[in-house]
Amino acid sequence: MLTSHAIDTVVRAALDEDAPWGDLTSEVLIPADALATAQLVAREPGVFSGEAVFEAAFRLTDPRILVHRLTADGAAFAAGDVLAEASGPARGILQAERIGLNFVQRMSGIATLTSAHVFAVKDTRARITDTRKTTPGLRALEKYAVRCGGGFNHRFGLDDAILIKDNHIAVAGGIRAVLERAKAAAGHLVKIEIEVDSLEQLQEVLDCGLADVVLIDNFDVASMRKAVEQVAGRLVIEASGGITLDTIGEIATTGVDYASSGALTHSAPALDVGLDIEI
């Protein structure tokens, strides 16, 4: 859930960065009592995300500005659709414009790209999930946008679960050693996931019987199919590495449970939306 506290914290930081001493241009050009109405308009089709964040940009700039939400997060829209409307003091609307747009463009871009991945696997059991490859300071918003696009969230941070990567294995003495340590320390609600980069390592994980999830990293499609057969339902399987919109469809047919992609957040293009203002 994206909390109001998380939203306000991020939006306040963005507003402080953009106008720490106010909006010089608007204060010089626009009368203090001028009013305006602005429409958030889609320039291209997509999936919406960021309605509360957009509203916060205007509310925190000037609480007299009223934002009417016309499109719900997770809803698809067409080019030309009006997604929201803001009305009130013109100076505040002009000052908040870029910040509100930045967040909606970023979040809707992520939601749209995620939705395309979800559609590509719709006839399979695979679920699309994100990673920790997020913009520093924006993780809560970007992971929320993934959910708006129909995806699922992986860990929010290093304290969510135990995820044993190849470097952990190398430093801590091998697969059995790290799994035994993890199992001894983990609480009963903490999941243990371990990364493998070969079918031989996967078999070692299965022989230990201590993991909940196995991450098969950078496997080709043929090896993924073999991994699914090898696991035979004993573990949840997450595929990762090189997953793109072009490859996800074939990967999903292998029978993996999850496919995680950092591209959902680190490479999603900003969606083209604009703010049309009437004075």
Q: Which of 69, 132, 133, 191 is catalytic?
A: 133
Q: Is the pLDDT of residue 279 over 80?
A: no
Q: Where in the chain is the domain with CATH 3.20.20.70?
A: 124-266
Taking CA atoms, 34 is separated from 87, 89, 93, 175, in Å, by 11, 6, 11, 67
Confidence band, pLDDT 50/70/90 cuts, at residue 173: confident
Q: Where in the chain is the domain with CATH 3.90.1170.20?
A: 4-118+268-278
Average pLDDT over residues 263-269: 97
pLDDT per position as a tens digit, 16-35: 999 999 999 999 999 999 99
Query: 183 catalytic, yes or no?
Result: no
Provide the pLDDT for residue 164.
96
Fold of the domain built from segment(s) 4-118+268-278: Aldehyde Oxidoreductase; domain 3 (3.90.1170)
Confidence band, pLDDT 50/70/90 cuts, at residue 189: very high
Q: Which is it for the CA torsion 68, 118, 230, 203, positive or negative?
A: negative
Average pLDDT over residues 30-57: 98
* CA Rg value for the chain: 23
Average pLDDT in the chain: 96
Q: Which of 98, 155, 183, 225 is catalytic?
A: 98
DSSP string, 212-225: SEEEEES--HHHHH
- Spatial distance between the Cα atoms of 20 and 105, rounded to a whole number of angstroms: 23
Q: Nearest to residue 2, comparing CAs of 50, 46, 40, 74?
A: 50
**Alpha helices for 134-244 (secondary structure H):** 139-148, 166-172, 175-185, 199-208, 221-231
What are the structure tokens assigned to 33, written together? 């009592």
Apex CA 57: angle with CA 51 and CA 62, to 5°? 130
pLDDT per position as a tens digit, 208-233: 999 999 999 999 999 999 999 999 99
Within 10 A of 142 (CB to CB), how many other CB atoms are there? 24
Provide the pLDDT for residue 219.
97
Q: Which of 23, 97, 142, 195 is catalytic?
A: 195
Confidence band, pLDDT 50/70/90 cuts, at residue 1: confident
**Domain 124-266 architecture:** Alpha-Beta Barrel (3.20)
Length of the chain: 279
pLDDT per position as a tens digit, 112-156: 999 999 999 999 999 999 999 999 999 999 999 999 999 999 999
Q: Which of 27, 165, 234, 278 is catalytic?
A: 165
Provide the pLDDT for residue 42.
98
Average pLDDT over residues 240-250: 95
Q: Which of 23, 193, 217, 238 is catalytic?
A: 217
Provide the pLDDT for residue 278.
80
Provide the pLDDT for residue 72.
98
Provide the pLDDT for residue 104.
98
Query: 98 catalytic, yes or no?
Result: yes
Provide the pLDDT for residue 218.
95
Query: 133 catalytic, yes or no?
Result: yes
